[in-house]
Amino acid sequence: MATEGRPRSTADGGASFEAPGTSPGAPQDEEGGDVPSALTLAAFLPYRLNVVAALVSDGLATRYGERFGISIPEWRVLATIGEFGSVTAKAIGRHAHMGKVKVSRAAASLEARGFLRKLPNEEDLREAFLVLTDAGRSVYAEIAPLALDYAARLMEGFTPAERDVLDVLLCKLQGRAEAMADDRSPSLGAGRTLPRSPS
């Protein structure tokens, strides 16, 4: 007669099933014995950052996605142009940490919908500056307050000191990650500005 596993409580007050003769969360070898775990996702910093980033990004996307039909990559392109006025696709990729193809597709979609247009780059004819049209600026002007409100609500419950500490830690983490990513193009850092079209 098979022995039933036993339930164990979880952090959220629920229960998960634990197989008989095993330790909670321990991986099993071929003979059913426990083997040491080298990685616990719940305590793995890259995993935790990715989960938080996905939750935040998706949460914000629901604010503008349904109303304006804009995807997350399109919003990042739109927001970058809205902030800096006129930028190249390459500069957007560096600033928003987006791949060339993703930036290109998002920009093409926004251009097709009349939200942005291209201006010639006198210094480099191989690429153009991207600027918002009147329609694009109107959409940006409507989404930006929604984004700021979402960010403010996200930080509710944090003291000013905690917000300052979080900002410092995020900056340090980003700087460290950029320093370790020596196989990628350097991103825009402090004191650097995005290329702009001539006024």
Q: How many residues does the chain have?
A: 199
The predicted structure's pLDDT at residue 156: 95
**Average pLDDT rounded to a whole number, residues 127-142:** 96
Q: Tens of pLDDT along 45-54?
A: 999 999 999 9
The residue to which tokens 């409100």 are assigned: 149
Best CA proximity match to 96, nearest among 7, 188, 182, 198: 188
* pTM for the whole structure: 0.69
Q: What is the pLDDT of residue 144?
A: 95
Integer Cα distance of 175 and 163 in angstroms? 18
Burial of 63 per CB tally in 10 Å (0-12, 13-18, 19+): middle
Q: What is the structure's pLDDT at 1?
A: 47
Residue 103: pLDDT over 50: yes
Q: What is the distance, to the nearest Å, from the Cα of residue 78 to the centroid of all Cα atoms in its chain?
A: 15
Tell whether the model's pLDDT for residue 3 goes beyond 60: no
Q: Say yes or no to pLDDT of 22 above 50.
A: no
What's the token pair of residue 159? 């003291």
List, for residues 47-81, the tens digit of each pLDDT value: 999 999 999 999 999 989 988 999 999 999 999 99
- For each of the domains in the chain, give its residue range(s) and CATH number, in order of start: 45-159 (1.10.10.10)
What pLDDT, on a 0 to 100 scale, did the predictor assign at position 160?
A: 96
Q: Which of 17-21, 47-51, 109-113 has the lowest mean pLDDT?
A: 17-21
Residue 125 confidence (pLDDT): 72
Quick one: what percent of the chain has pLDDT higher than 90? 64
pLDDT for 121? 83
pLDDT at position 183: 56
Provide mean pLDDT across the span 163-189.
Answer: 81
pLDDT at 161 over 70: yes
- Residue 38's pLDDT band, with cuts at 50, 70 and 90, is confident
The answer to whether the beta carbons of residues 83 and 76 sit under 8 Å apart is: no
Residue 11: CB partners within 8 Å, gap ≥ 6? none
Say yes or no to pLDDT of 192 above 70.
no
CA distances from 181 to 141, 142, 171 (A): 35, 35, 15
For residue range 87-101, what is the model confidence (pLDDT) as tens digits? 999 999 999 999 999
